[in-house]
Chain A
């Protein structure tokens, strides 16, 4: 294989595309290689030329695990519900902004609210130089009343009878309340002085890496698994450091059982404990237990418990549910089943609220939200019930990696081609959507972003809803927060905001 296949970024699980995963392919060679791996096990098993190719062949295992953990984890489900709230109110805030005074929307609005008058004047002076005209930002107060915003979190805003400026502020506040909670949940509550590896998102990486590692071993071979292991052990990247922490703890458990095993077989066997520990840390419920449910806090509590009870039989018990019950008791945590059940109930309650709203407002974002949430809640229910019935099927890494297709919810797949395009069909076949299409001079169509359902279950309608949700979520992220997105998406989102708000849109750098 050509060395051009090697790339460093592989896309990922993006909560803005909640029913699917995204893969980025950095060259035509990478696209062709990926297509071959996807179609043929034999190509997966052929020798790889380096880390990039090993990662490319195994990236689906990694990303699908994110998809499943995001459905399982009450923490992640809280974030998703807040995203829905942000979208519901954010789109209305942008719509209402067209009627308020001022000719300019400074983005992200959350940053603008945090600036004082002097800082705002500095930006306005710079912008006036850039655009060569006077700039008049929409009226928004300086500073955020964080307590007031927290009280709005999860609420539905009744704006009847409000002046347009107050309506804009109400929708903006509700949106920022949701983003503020998202920010708090994403940052988590790590111990003071902890490094960047102790963030909730890194725990999601650890479970995905455990699955990816065992997947590489099963489908590629021991040379490839060693190469990937070397990367993880040598890397200073936060995900690698936290995976190493988890693995070292797991090795303590594994060594007690297999004192004479080789290092490679020990590390691979230890991934069983890594996945089991990782999932337990993700099962805390913030709505019931506040920041005590933070995955990183749970990891610290679990590590302390395990190090004090290395020889306890439940730590190596074959049944994950039994170990989790003991860990709940040993760390003073709420039983994991209670947290998962409450999370499912909360998702179902949220879904009903959007279904009710959609019944009276067919043109607003509620209908889209109820469609997307409906499918997601069905997936959350399926995977939660499976966890209750047979925790090992999700927590035993070997069983999970070799599970038959269709045992767990299957995500849609969105593929981005970075810097090149491929022919697009004139009409999308079932279960396929060309998201970005351009016409060549001769009339033939090209695409560099397309989405498809992997198993055909999620048909075109589900894909359309997911893509519409993602577009709207990106618009809200650009308008109100600072979440990263591809630059073309950022520019398209800016165009949407400009067109809906009928204001000049300037970015705060």
Chain B
């Protein structure tokens, strides 16, 4: 299943570098998520990680590990699959079960 994850560029770079080797999650690229038509004033640099996920649990686990080390007070990520779009807030103590269940509607109809 193809997936796009949009959020803080540094956070996504770290996620991409920590994803386990193998076929569970294949990262194709991380794009600059700036929209040419966007005149939104933001202090943050936003990126979009595009890839294919075979094992969603593996992606969730890496997101949680990186988030635990990340000091930003809030970290919001937007997930997009063929079935829809969803924004998820990642608190420092988010559990694997919570994140996985939040994303469930994006991986099955």
A186 vs B34: C-alpha distance in the bound complex, in angstroms?
Answer: 12
Are B38's CB and A130's CB within 8 A? no
Are A13's CB and B33's CB within 8 A? no
B34: chain A residues within 8 A (beta carbon): 196, 238
Residues 30-88 of B at the A interface (beta carbon under 8 Å): 32-45, 50, 73-74, 78, 80-87
Asked if B3 lies at the interface with its beta carbon under 8 angstroms from chain A, I say yes
Are B1's CB and A51's CB within 8 A? no
* Dominant secondary structure of chain A at its interface with chain B: helix
Are B78's CB and A55's CB within 8 A? no
Are A66's CB and B39's CB within 8 A? yes
Residues 91-109 of B at the A interface (beta carbon under 8 Å): 107-109
A488: chain B residues within 8 A (beta carbon): 87
A494: chain B residues within 8 A (beta carbon): 84-85
Query: What mask results when residues 490 to 504 of chain A are scored 1 for a CB within 8 Å of chain B, else 0?
Result: 110010000000000
Name the contact of B37 in the complex, choosing from A4, A26, A126, A483 (C-beta under 8 A): A483
Are A8's CB and B85's CB within 8 A? no
Name the contact of B41 in the complex, choosing from A6, A182, A208, A235 (C-beta under 8 A): A208
Q: Among B1, B42, B82, B89, find the residue whose CB has the most chain A CB atoms closer than 10 A.
A: B82
A99 vs B43: C-alpha distance in the bound complex, in angstroms?
Answer: 46
A231: chain B residues within 8 A (beta carbon): 43
Asked if A59 lies at the interface with its beta carbon under 8 angstroms from chain B, I say yes
Are B87's CB and A487's CB within 8 A? yes
Are B78's CB and A487's CB within 8 A? yes
B44: chain A residues within 8 A (beta carbon): 8-9
Tally A residues with Cβ within 8 Å of B.
Answer: 55
A507: chain B residues within 8 A (beta carbon): 80-85
B86–chain A nearest beta-carbon distance, Å: 6
The interface-forming segment of A199-207, A281-289, A321-329 is: A199-207
Residues 1-18 of B at the A interface (beta carbon under 8 Å): 1-4
Name the contact of A10 in the complex, choosing from B41, B81, B89, B109 (C-beta under 8 A): B41
A460: chain B residues within 8 A (beta carbon): none
A129 vs B84: C-alpha distance in the bound complex, in angstroms?
Answer: 15
Given A487-B78, A487-B85, A491-B84, decide whether A126 and B39 contact each other with a Cβ distance below 8 A. Answer: no
28 contacts between A and B (CB under 8 A): A12-B38, A14-B39, A15-B37, A52-B43, A55-B41, A63-B41, A130-B108, A131-B109, A132-B109, A183-B36, A196-B32, A200-B36, A201-B37, A205-B41, A236-B45, A237-B45, A482-B35, A483-B37, A484-B33, A484-B35, A484-B38, A488-B87, A494-B85, A506-B82, A506-B83, A509-B3, A509-B4, A509-B80
Residues of A within 8 A of B (CB): 4, 6, 8-15, 26, 51-52, 55, 59, 62-63, 66, 79, 123, 126-127, 129-132, 182-183, 186-187, 196, 199-201, 204-205, 208, 231, 235-238, 419, 482-484, 487-488, 490-491, 494, 506-509
Apart from A10-B40, A507-B83, what 10 extra A-B contacts exist at CB < 8 Å? A11-B40, A12-B39, A12-B41, A182-B37, A204-B39, A237-B45, A507-B85, A508-B82, A509-B2, A509-B50
